[in-house]
Amino acid sequence: MKNILLIILTAIVFTSCSSAVRFSSANTTKYEDNNAEVVTVMYGKASYYGTEFDGRSTANGETFSNREYTAAHKSLPFGSMVKVTNLVNNKSVVVRINDRGPYVAGRVIDISRKAAEELDMIRAGVIDVKIELLK
């Protein structure tokens, strides 16, 4: 009986000292819309994350990377896939929502630098976009 209690106590101590599991989106490849059904369409201004956000935790617990196709939106559910289209050049990219924001008036979505490069918006910084929530 003492051995069993000792084993249980040891297991509790070791598991309580272990670090928490962290989520990380390992997807650095481009998402495709593959003619996905559009659920909702929104319009607004998009910006992209600065380099100072690399390595920080996102609102869903992932570690942010500017080399992935992700984005922040104030209310769309985490994991939502959205197609973001630059209204000036009609280039588009599909990103996954994994963070909250943007917290700048007038902006509706913040995207990773990788996605911003696809939209050719690096020089402009902020652009007008169409956002399509995909099913």
Helix (H) / strand (E) element for 12: namely helix 2-17
Strand, helix or coil for residue 52: helix
In a domain, 106, yes or no: yes
In a domain, 81, yes or no: yes
In a domain, 22, yes or no: no
Domain coverage including residue 65: 30-134
Tens digit of each residue's pLDDT (9 = 90 or more) over 20-36: 333 334 445 577 776 88
Q: How many domains does one find in the chain?
A: 1
The pLDDT, as a whole number, for residue 18 is: 36
In a domain, 84, yes or no: yes
Percent of the chain with pLDDT strictly greater than 70: 76
In a domain, 54, yes or no: yes
In a domain, 14, yes or no: no
Tens digit of each residue's pLDDT (9 = 90 or more) over 58-99: 999 999 999 999 999 999 999 999 999 999 999 999 999 999
Mean pLDDT on 7-24: 42
CATH number at residue 69: 2.40.40.10
* Planar angle of CA 112, 113, 116, nearest 5 degrees: 90
